[in-house]
Structure 1
Amino acid sequence: MKVVVTFGTFDVFHVGHLKILKRASELGDKLVVGVSSDALNIKKKSRAPIYSEAERCEIISSLKFVDDVFLEYSLEEKANYLRSHNANLLVMGCDWEGKFDWIKDEVDCEVIYLPRTPSISTTEIIEIAGGIHNNA
């Protein structure tokens, strides 16, 4: 069985999230998704997510092509997460290109970077919504 693992915050879920998760699922037999914890998101992006980690996990786990979801508490633990889920393939968005190539040797896991859906990002959605709210 080929196990695919991917990671993300998945805040303000949008079609770009849907497409990358669907493409990742098509690369193996089982898709496991690591959702960034609230604390990790604050550390990475200097802001709390709009939706809580529990809500984001519920959203991701409701997708028919996602087989398992877990919380990611530390970027430094990626290799351990991959080992614990017996991953054969790590899939990340192309904005992470090259940053996880070391996984290939440390975990004996293939790494693929998929292109992101153009013209959509959670940050942009939050900024637009905030601007609309502030102008109302």
Structure 2
Amino acid sequence: MVKVITYGTYDLLHYGHIKLLERAKGLGDYLIVGVTADDFDKNRGKINVQQSLMERIEAVRATGLADKIIVEEYEGQKIDDIRRYDVDIFTVGSDWVGKFDYLNEYCKVVYLPRTEGISSSEVRSKQCKLRMGFAA
């Protein structure tokens, strides 16, 4: 059985996230999805996350693509998880090319192409405009 792992915040889960999860699932037989904890995101400078951890986990679960969902809580956890779950492939979007090459020591690293024309920042921006439209 080929085990694949990927991580993300998955805030305001959108089509691009789903396509990435589908591609990740297609790399193996068992997909583990790490959803980043609020505190860990804040420590990395992500302060505009709009959904709670549980909302984001439920959104990933609802896709039906993850065989297991875990929470990423600390720096270095990726190595621990790869070892703990006997992972064969680590994958993440191509916007991170090179950033996780150090994991090749533990498993195969695959950078998946981004879905053109969609990003979390764009979704948040449209949501803010929509909210502002209602307030006016």
The TM-score normalised by the length of structure 1 is 0.91
Report the Cα distance in structure 1 between the residues aligned to 2:116 and 2:43, rounded to whole angstroms.
Answer: 26
For 2:32, give the aligned amino acid: V
Q: Residues 80-133 of structure 1: CA distance to partner in whole angstroms, max 9, x if unpaired?
A: 11111211000110011011111111x2x0000001101111111112221232
Other-structure match for 1:12: 12
The runs of at least 4 aligned residues of structure 1 exceeding 4 Å deviation read none
Q: Which runs of 5+ in 2 are unaligned?
A: none
The equivalent position to 2:113 in structure 1, one of 104, 108, 115, is 115
Looking at structure 2, the residues matched to 16 and 80 of structure 1 have their Cα atoms a distance apart, in angstroms, of: 27
**Alpha-carbon offset, residue 46 of structure 1:** 3.5
Partner SS, residue 28 of structure 2? coil
1:128 is aligned with what amino acid? K
Which structure 2 residues correspond to residues 1-80 of structure 1 after superposition, within 5 A? 1-80=1-80
- Distance in structure 2 (CA, Å) of the matches to 1:133 and 1:56: 20
1:98 aligns with 2:71: no
The residue type paired with residue 68 of structure 1 is K
In 2, distance between residues paired with 1:9 and 1:47? Answer: 12
- Could you report, residue by residue, the CA deviation over 1:27-48 in whole angstroms, capped at 9, with x for unpaired residues? 1000000000011122224315
Residue 38 of structure 1 contacts residue 48 of structure 1 at CA under 8 Å; is this kept in 2?
A: no
The alignment covers a number of residue pairs equal to 134
| Partner amino acid, structure 1, of 2:85 | H
3-state DSSP of counterpart to 1:130: helix
Inter-partner Cα distance in structure 1 for 2:116 and 2:36: 22
| Aligned-residue offset at 1:66 | 1.2
Moved more, 95-104 or 43-52: 43-52
* 1:48-78 Cα deviation digits (max 9, x unpaired): 5211111111111222221000000123221
User: In 2, Cα distance between the equivalents of 1:62 and 1:47?
Assistant: 25
**What CA distance in whole angstroms lies between the structure 1 residues aligned with 2:122 and 2:43?**
19
Partner of 2:95, secondary structure, is: helix
